[in-house]
Amino acid sequence: MKRRKIQNQLELSQELKKAAIKQGFNLVGIARVPGSERIELRTAALQRWLNAGHQGEMKWMEAPRRQNIETLLEGVKSILSVGLNYYVKKEKNPKALSIARYAWGKDYHKIINKKLKHVGKWLQKESPNCRWKICVDSAPLLDKVWAEEAGLGWIGKHSNLINKEYGSWIVLGHLLCTETLLPDIPAKPVCGKCQICIEQCPTQAITEPFVVDSNSCLAYHTIENRASKLPEEIKSSLGNWIAGCDICQEVCPWNKKELLSSQDPDMAPRDWILKLTKKQVLSWSDNKWEEQLSGSTLKRIKPWMWRRNAEAIQSEVNSYS
């Protein structure tokens, strides 16, 4: 059957979003480049964050390209922003070590990239002259800022994107393109006076609303810090967290309500992640770790770092066999 030609921007924008939903994305929205004044404000906030040294050793955050979307795709006019729900209604063993939820399943970078590639190919069939580029959060793009601009949700005071339906348990992806699409209405922040995430951070890493100092963040130190030992002030606040930290999300009222559990099999948690013990972490060989971490976002944490983190954990709630 001959493909029906899409007639206008509105129809192309609607059908593009449908194509993304068909790939399994839970949230879809479109932003127009250069975006609203808020893009400029968020970009300026990033520079202040960098000037304050809050990036720690994450030198890639300083890439100038991050503040100029044109350097990622020449002639970019629109962005399709997508969100994938990674919340699953399962809990780890109460005595197991804690791992951030986004890493329970398969590597979301690969999942999102694969899905968006299908969307990009669909767009190219409809608009043969259109050029496009996929960006996940490893790309130098203000991903949460553009997701907010596309209406997927608002940036909370803990710096994560929040959606009324899915809370903040969302991983993001973006399809930059040279096609002029109709933008959605940017999301409006509704955190109001709530500061629970700031108050409950054990290291006071959220120094003010929307500002997270990586140098004090448990997630940064357990994943990005390459030093042989963790700082004493981090060790004393580590609790049971061995890979990442979800505290600021767990206490958020938007995550306290009944949330939709992901039905995507790629988001399903691996069994060992829900029952990991300190004894296992310290006894597994490098080969065993490579086997366990295959296809996981957690590969970023090298075997020696898992052992370092485990040795730093002072909690007694990890000794069950």
The domain that holds 40 is classified in CATH as 3.40.109
Instruction: Tell whether 308 and 257 lie within a shared domain.
Output: yes
Torsion of CA 207, 213, 218, 221, to 10 degrees: -160
Clarify whether 137 is annotated catalytic: yes
Which domain does 141 fall in, by range?
Answer: 9-90+102-177
Q: Which positions ≥6 away from 163 have C-beta within 8 Å?
A: 27, 83, 152, 153, 170
Instruction: Tell whether 157 and 207 lie within a shared domain.
Output: no
pLDDT tens string, the chain, 321 residues long: the values are: 455 667 689 999 999 999 999 999 999 999 999 999 999 999 888 889 888 888 888 877 877 778 889 999 999 999 999 999 999 999 999 999 999 999 999 999 999 999 999 999 999 999 999 999 999 988 889 999 999 999 999 999 999 999 999 999 999 999 999 999 999 999 999 999 999 999 999 999 999 999 999 999 999 999 999 999 999 999 999 999 999 999 999 999 999 999 999 999 999 999 999 999 999 999 999 999 999 999 999 999 999 999 999 999 986 554 444
Q: Which of 107, 137, 184, 264 is catalytic?
A: 137
Instruction: Tell whether 154 and 213 lie within a shared domain.
Output: no
Instruction: Tell whether 122 and 29 lie within a shared domain.
Output: yes
Instruction: Tell whether 238 and 147 lie within a shared domain.
Output: no
What interhelical angle do 108-126 and 9-22 show, nearest 10?
150
Number of H helices, E strands in the chain: 11, 10
Determine, yes or no, domain membership for 4.
no
Instruction: Tell whether 127 and 202 lie within a shared domain.
Output: no
Instruction: Tell whether 161 and 256 lie within a shared domain.
Output: no
Q: Indicate yes or no: pTM above 0.75.
A: yes
Beta bridge partners of 173: 82
d(CA 213, CA 148): 21
Determine, yes or no, domain membership for 172.
yes
Determine, yes or no, domain membership for 216.
yes
d(CA 43, CA 145): 9
Instruction: Tell whether 73 and 213 lie within a shared domain.
Output: no
Instruction: Tell whether 14 and 143 lie within a shared domain.
Output: yes
Instruction: Tell whether 21 and 164 lie within a shared domain.
Output: yes
> Last residue of some domain: 116, 143, 177?
177
Determine, yes or no, domain membership for 17.
yes
Instruction: Tell whether 162 and 277 lie within a shared domain.
Output: no
* The total number of structural domains that make up the chain: 2
Place of tokens 């979003």: 17
- What pLDDT, on the 0 to 100 scale, is given for residue 314? 84
> Last residue of some domain: 147, 177, 207?
177
